Structure 1
Amino acid sequence: MNDKELRARLIERLTADGHLRTGPWREAVSAVPRHEFLREGFFREVDGSTPTAWTPVMPDDPRWPAACYDDVSLVTQIAGTIVPGDVRGEIMRAPTSSSTLPGLVVRMLEDLQVDAGHRVLEIGTGTGYSTALLCHRLGNDSVTSVEVDENVSTRARTALGHCGFAPDLIVGDGLAGHRAGAPYDRVIATCGLLTIPRELIEQTRPGGIVLIPLCGWLYSSELARLTVHQDGTASGRLLGGQISFMLARPHLPPPLGLLPDLDDGDERPAVLGPDALDDWTTRFVAQLAAPRAQHVTLTREDRTEHLFLDVDTGARAMLREHHGRWTVRQNGPSRLWDAVEAHLTRWRDAGAPPLEEFEITLTSEQPTITWPGR
């Protein structure tokens, strides 16, 4: 298949899956060649590798053309600086930039509810593919995109130029927005955020929309769409769908460091075990109670233990199973597992409403998220 045929196949799939819903975005996906934004290759996960290993796939690889139009995310940078052309063989480091799966890209653009004449601020340029779709729909002068990584931004600028697009590309901290171009009608973030920066709200005109992947360190994330009000507050809903994005670099969790004495603290029977968090929705609700807690699985004395630790405050909860029952030992300035259990109990008592029914109110950077009956 040539690239036009691959694009047509992608459009069919995104339409069938319900991500691509309107004509203008269908025209944009048809017009913008995703492969042009992957000319420097991408990394493919090595099957069965533990820890995860990555191997480069370059444009001369027979797999490359079709893979560019698969509805999957493609890793384009590892460890903050390493690109596919730097690697021969395999590498075992964490991904730091990617080309998001097209289905999620177009779903977010549809959910952004843009219209002709709108000016859009994009947080996280990445490869530039979503930026190009915005430019095709709205025109170069209506699109500003901010990228923290200068090298990533430079590669995106080159790819956008090859496709005939010239938006305003800024190298800087996207969480601060770009005040010089404000106010914007729409703001969209293509990275996960723990909080919603006030700058993004302040740079959006009243009535404008901010679309944010809202995350936590338990790694359940959901799209939040908020409308900005005249008084500087914002409100909206979660959109559901179990989306996943790399966290914005300033919002990455801190290193765990030297673990504390895990046998110290107050112990009690646990109402809920850590297996309750295997479910995406339940984990998101738990995360609202402990957004900065990290979950670590440990093996000690031939048994598996689950540590929930807030590095900044030192609060921690260690859960252990004994004869089919869980206990929790907690220490620090707050009781993490008490908060998680209480939050989940209130949610379940309300009938466990789906995330799409959750309401968001924002008066500071930390949003207040509630559900019906709470």
Structure 2
Amino acid sequence: MSTSAQLRAALVDRLTEDGALTGPEWRSAAGAVPRELFAGSYFAPVAGSVPTGFRAVREGEPGWLEGIYTDRTLVTQLDGATRPDDVADETVSGSPSSSSTLPSLVLGMWHQLDTGAGQRVLEIGTGTGYSTALGAHRLGDANLTSIEYDPVVGGAAAAALKAAGFTPRLIIGDGLRGDPDGGRYDRLIATCAVRYVPLPWLHQVKPGGRILVTLSGWSYANALALLDVTGPGEATGRFLPGFTSFMIARPHDRPPLPALDLLPGEERPSRVDPAALDNWTGGWVAQLAAPSAVRMGVGAQQVLWDVSTGSQARTAPAPDGGWTVVQRGPVRLWDQVERAVQRWQAAGEPHQEGFGITVSGAGQRVWLGAEDGPGWDLPI
């Protein structure tokens, strides 16, 4: 049977070969931090289950340690409360609410943050503490502060960090408000997604510092952005290559959804193929255009539902080819989405790295191509 050290070394080798792990400092961190202290028991998805079911994989059972040292995300909590040790040997359902993110993504984000010796970093979302441990190994405990919203999750992370020999500053609270004691940081890294960049972050990161955060929304489309802080409350940046997603921060999550009734409305032909929204960037562009909407469906049959106003839009194949859309309510959701998708298509359907973001006291704007190009305001 392979030991933890052997499995950890093998994972470091794989990540290095794949290009996810390049710097010697981060290779050292990945090789030193025992992930099993942070993941412990976890939920594994049950193949073929719809909706996705989960079974608990408990510490010490066959395959447990090998699963931890696979480059995958390990779900550690469902519905903000249920942990693997809370359930019997059965399949359970629920929405993942905490996890140990796949190591290649965690390490890749630390690389992208471009931290240096002596820099102070604020981490939003301690989670299991695995990312925190990697950062503490690289930067030193004194240079890292991490904030966790969930006190149960935060308590478990604190115990795991202590067991691993790390003592960074840990805070239980709303990380979207930043460090409650204030502070001046060189870098900020968020392991949760947000609908917009919280203003306290822009005042706690020094001008010349950087913020790495995933922008998401109520349709759960994600894009990773790296921002340079240009002044108090101001920043500009670009979105990065790849496909990064995180659970949205609980204060930014959408409200509970009542049962949806598809009601009659005004029908017209659609000027874009609704399947464009199934594209990673296409769905994100649609979310920028309709930030209060939830998107459901696939292919030609999409449903947009604005949870603020009750407005609806639904598409379907037209009998003679093309597509139709039915809209109702004060917000013409498909009109907004259609215009945004057409702009994106006219630009050649670039990945998210073709977009940028500007943040100031006047608002937060995502733009396509150049800063004076087509853009969308984030819902602050």
**TM-score scaled by structure 1?**
0.94
Specify the alignment match of 2:191 in structure 1. Answer: 190
2:239–2:353 CA contact under 8 A, matched in 1? yes
Q: 1:316 aligns with which of 302, 312, 319?
A: 312
Q: Secondary structure at the match of 2:335?
A: helix
Specify the alignment match of 1:293 in structure 2. Answer: 293
Q: Secondary structure at the match of 1:49?
A: coil
1:124–1:145 CA contact under 8 A, matched in 2? yes
Specify the alignment match of 1:266 in structure 2. Answer: 266
Q: 1:358 aligns with which of 355, 358, 368?
A: 355
Change beyond 3 A, Cα 1:85–1:371: same
1:189–1:213 CA contact under 8 A, matched in 2? yes
Report the more deviating stretch, 117-126 or 359-368: 359-368
Distance 2:8 2:295 in 1: 40
Q: Secondary structure at the match of 1:199?
A: helix
The percent of aligned pairs where both chains have the same amino acid is 47
2:272–2:342 CA contact under 8 A, matched in 1? no
When the two chains are superposed, the root-mean-square deviation of aligned CA atoms in Å is 1.7
Unpaired runs of 5+ residues, structure 1, are 299-303
Specify the alignment match of 2:255 in structure 1. Answer: 254
Distance 1:353 1:157 in 2: 42
1:198–1:365 CA contact under 8 A, matched in 2? no
Q: 1:84-123 counterparts in 2 under 5 A?
A: 84-88=84-88, 89-123=90-124
Q: Secondary structure at the match of 1:77?
A: strand
Distance 2:172 2:311 in 1: 36
Specify the alignment match of 1:301 in structure 2. Answer: none
Q: Secondary structure at the match of 1:313?
A: coil
Distance 2:95 2:196 in 1: 23
Distance 2:15 2:167 in 1: 26
Unpaired runs of 5+ residues, structure 2, are 374-380
CA drift at 1:319: 1.3
**Between Structure 1 and Structure 2, how many residues are aligned?**
367
Specify the alignment match of 1:43 in structure 2. Answer: 43
Report the more deviating stretch, 189-198 or 251-260: 251-260
Specify the alignment match of 2:346 in structure 1. Answer: 349
CA drift at 1:292: 2.2
Q: Which amino acid aligns with 1:315?
A: S
Q: 1:57-136 counterparts in 2 under 5 A?
A: 57-88=57-88, 89-136=90-137
**TM-score scaled by structure 2?**
0.92
Distance 2:272 2:24 in 1: 47
Change beyond 3 A, Cα 1:348–1:45: same
Moved over 3 A (4+): 258-261
CA drift at 1:267: 1.6
Distance 2:362 2:75 in 1: 30
Q: Deviations over 1:174-206 (max 9, x none)?
A: 111114141111111101111111011111111
Distance 1:120 1:79 in 2: 29
CA drift at 1:281: 1.6
1:121–1:143 CA contact under 8 A, matched in 2? yes
Q: Secondary structure at the match of 1:240?
A: coil
Q: Secondary structure at the match of 1:154?
A: helix
